[in-house]
């Protein structure tokens, strides 16, 4: 079997799911278009691929990461800032997996698992937000 990019290949690290990599790639592409084709073509590119998405991004608050959203909601509804604590870390250093818990007050609102602590915290925050109403009912918010 010839070597190539595909599922299970060791060099595939989930870059397509990493927001900062996608943002940097978009910025690099836009910069290349601007340098090669100048402003009018870069403007057309933005009008075609970015501008139509802006209202949906703002409406759904996709411009704010999960930890920031959870902090805003928790402070508004409960007057408490979430705290993140490591539950566990497993695996060798080059393939370590972290589990982080997000606590609001004395209660664990959610856990998240990721390849680093920051990713696990973001996932924990997203999990808490997805279950926010149930968690408020459970913990009396």
Domains in the chain: boundaries: 15-59, 66-139
What mean pLDDT is reported for the chain? 89
- Nearest-angstrom CA–CA distance, 46 and 82: 37
Measured CA to CA, the distance from residue 5 to residue 9 in angstroms comes to 6
Banded model confidence at residue 8, pLDDT cuts 50, 70, 90: low
What pLDDT does residue 69 have?
A: 93
Phi, psi of 40 (to 5 degrees): -60, -40
Closest by CA position to 95, among listed 112, 118, 114, 111: 114
- Give the architecture (CATH level 2) of 66-139: 2-Layer Sandwich (3.30)
Euclidean distance between CA atoms 33 and 45, whole angstroms: 8
Span 11-34, pLDDT tens digits = 566 777 677 788 899 999 999 999
pLDDT at 1: 43
Alpha-carbon gap, residue 80 to 73, rounded angstroms: 9
Most confident of 92-96, 124-128, 132-136: 124-128
If pLDDT is split at 50, 70 and 90, which confidence band does 2 have? very low
Count Cβ atoms within 10 A of the Cβ of residue 2 and give its class: 0-12 exposed, 13-18 middle, 19 or more buried. exposed
Residue from 96, 126, 86 nearest 110 by CA? 126
Are 103 and 85 within 8 A, CB to CB?
yes
Split at pLDDT 50, 70, 90, the class of 63 is: confident
Of the ranges 20-24, 46-50, 96-100, 117-121, which one carries the lowest mean pLDDT score? Answer: 20-24
pLDDT band, very low/low/confident/very high, at 38 (cuts 50, 70, 90): very high
Question: Which of 1-5, 76-80, 97-101, 129-133 has the lowest average pLDDT?
Answer: 1-5
């Amino acid at each position: 079997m010839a070597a190539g990019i595909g599922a299970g290949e060791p060099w595939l690290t989930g870059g397509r799911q990493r927001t900062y990599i996608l943002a940097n790639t978009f910025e690099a592409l836009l910069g290349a278009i601007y340098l090669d084709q100048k402003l009018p073509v870069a403007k057309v590119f933005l009008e075609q691929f970015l501008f139509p998405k802006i209202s949906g991004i703002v409406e759904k608050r996709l411009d704010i990461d999960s930890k920031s959203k959870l902090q805003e909601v928790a402070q508004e509804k409960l007057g408490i800032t979430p705290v993140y604590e490591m539950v566990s870390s497993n695996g060798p250093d080059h393939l370590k997996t972290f589990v982080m818990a997000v606590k609001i007050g004395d209660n664990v609102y959610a856990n998240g698992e990721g390849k680093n602590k920051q990713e696990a915290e973001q996932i924990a925050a997203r999990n808490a937000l997805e279950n926010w109403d149930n968690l408020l009912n459970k913990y009396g918010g």
